[in-house]
Amino acid sequence: MQDYSTYIQYNEDNSVKVPFGRAAEWYIANHPLLKNRRLKCQSRQYTPGLVKKGIINVERVEGAVDFVEWTTKVGKTKSTNRVDDILTLTSEGHELLMQINAKEKRDRLCWSWVMFCAGDGNSCQRVCGGIGKCKEGCKNFEFSNGLKNYQDMHLCQVRVKSEVHLSSLTTSHPLLIEIHGTHAPLNIIVNSTPKIERLNLLKSVRDNVLLSRRADHRSAKGIKSKLLASMNGANEGTLSQALTNQRTICTDNKLKQLVARDDRRLKDHVSSWTILHNLIVKNLKPKGYILYYQQPNLSFPEDSPQRFYQLTLSDEFWLKNTRDYSQNCIGIDGKYDLNIDHVPVLSIVAKNNAGFATPIAFGKKFTFLNNFSKVEIIYHILYTIYIYHILI
Ligand SMILES: [Zn+2]
Ligand SMILES: [Zn+2]
């Protein structure tokens, strides 16, 4: 795990301020009170309302894949909250900020979020004061797990509060984090750290796990060895710490469940293609990797090119190779087993002057009718190469 200690700004009142991105999770995971614990979270307040009003945008930290986006029945887009989310002001938001700075409008919160200790191992002092179990007379006494619902914070009194004000959005350290409470009274002797049974991997580790699955098609076993490889050369203390807090490694079963859940999530047409769409529009396009991208428009008649989903990727290296070394020979080949949706991935190759095949681009194209032709995609690629020749 990368060290973000230099990113943390320590305040006198025990709170800290951190930049948006991975530093927040690093701080929380390394805080002495939270090192070997699992946190649960309430829902994040104020952010969705201000997004809806067009004041702020939520961006994902680079490399984030462990989230789902979905559209509600009334057409609202919702998405998983992450502590490494990045808030930015829209142009309307900037105007509001100027008014706030001029004291014409009041500053307001655009992020307020409570995370809390999950109370694993029944060793924490509950809100009613009972340690590991509820006191008689407590309203939660009748529930076998001591919880009224999943988000009930009853099992421990440790809280991690994070918040952002609109006025701090343009500063270097916008996110304020405060940690309150203790797991148990200080006069109690605690012999062992509670065992964490549930999945507790860091978001950054989960991102890597899911990328290994989605991009390299690794099995749970393959992913596990990759996770363990990251611990190569670690000393005994680090290893036992990792085994206790389960943040960078986890049990085989948990890993299998995580991978299976992500497979299901990807099979769910809506979320996976929304994620891909965002990846294309926000990351790949600005970097120039997209030669052609088209989302299907089902209002067109059958067999018309507009009904196809099409994505063609390339990069400058391949295109330059093609321009400089290739002869006029283009091949195209489809492979179906590279992804769990069995969407054909087409590799487009040209023969170079040494007689070997050199890749030009990779394409994905499918329709819900299972009826795709290679002709159009070749057309788009030839066209792009033609444009590229003219431009460079
Ligand atoms: Zn209780
Ligand atoms: Zn606790």
DSSP string, 287-335: TT-EEEEE---TTSPTT-GGGSEEEEE--HHHHHHHHHHEEEEEEEEEE
What pLDDT, on a 0 to 100 scale, did the predictor assign at position 369?
Answer: 35
8 A C-beta contact, residue 353 and residue 290: no
Q: Tokens 């769409």: give the residue.
A: 277
For 196-249, the DSSP string reads P-S----HHHHHHHHHHHHHH---HHHHHHHHHHTTTT--HHHHHHHHHH-SS-
Nearest to 82 by CA among 46, 121, 41: 41
Write the burial class of residue 283 (CB in 10 Å: 0-12 exposed, 13-18 middle, 19+ buried): middle
27's enclosing H/E stretch is helix 23-30
**Whole-angstrom distance, CA of residue 67 vs CA of residue 131:** 35
Q: How far away, in angstroms, is 140 Cα from ligand 1 center?
A: 5
List CB contacts of 183: < 8 A, sequence separation 6 or more: 33, 37, 117, 123, 124, 125, 156, 157, 158, 190
Ligand 1 being an ion, which residues bring their Cβ within 5 A of it? Answer: 126, 128, 134, 138, 140
What pLDDT, on a 0 to 100 scale, did the predictor assign at position 370?
Answer: 35
Q: What residues are paired with 113 via a beta bridge?
A: 162
What pLDDT, on a 0 to 100 scale, did the predictor assign at position 371?
Answer: 38
Q: Can you read off the two tokens belonging to residue 127?
A: 């809100």
8 A C-beta contact, residue 330 and residue 383: no
Beta-strand pair 175-180/159-165: antiparallel
Ligand nearest to the CA of 119: 2
Ligand nearest to the CA of 193: 2
What pLDDT, on a 0 to 100 scale, did the predictor assign at position 363?
Answer: 65
Q: How far away, in angstroms, is 136 Cα from ligand 1 center?
A: 8
Ligand nearest to the CA of 154: 1
Q: Can you read off the two tokens belonging to residue 126?
A: 């509950």
Ligand nearest to the CA of 126: 1
CA gyration radius for the chain? 25
Q: How far away, in angstroms, is 112 Cα from ligand 2 center?
A: 21
**Whole-angstrom distance, CA of residue 353 vs CA of residue 322:** 10
Write the burial class of residue 211 (CB in 10 Å: 0-12 exposed, 13-18 middle, 19+ buried): middle
Q: How far away, in angstroms, is 190 Cα from ligand 2 center?
A: 12
Q: Tokens 């999530």: give the residue.
A: 265
Question: pLDDT per position in the chain (392 positions), as tens?
Answer: 789 999 999 999 999 999 999 999 999 999 999 988 999 999 899 999 999 999 999 998 988 878 777 666 566 667 788 999 999 999 999 999 999 999 999 999 999 999 999 999 888 999 999 999 999 999 999 888 889 888 899 999 999 999 999 999 999 999 999 999 999 998 887 767 788 888 899 998 998 898 888 777 788 888 888 888 888 888 888 888 888 889 988 888 899 989 888 877 776 544 455 666 777 788 778 887 887 787 766 677 766 667 666 777 777 777 777 777 766 556 666 665 555 555 566 677 777 777 777 776 666 655 433 334 445 555 555 555 555 554 44
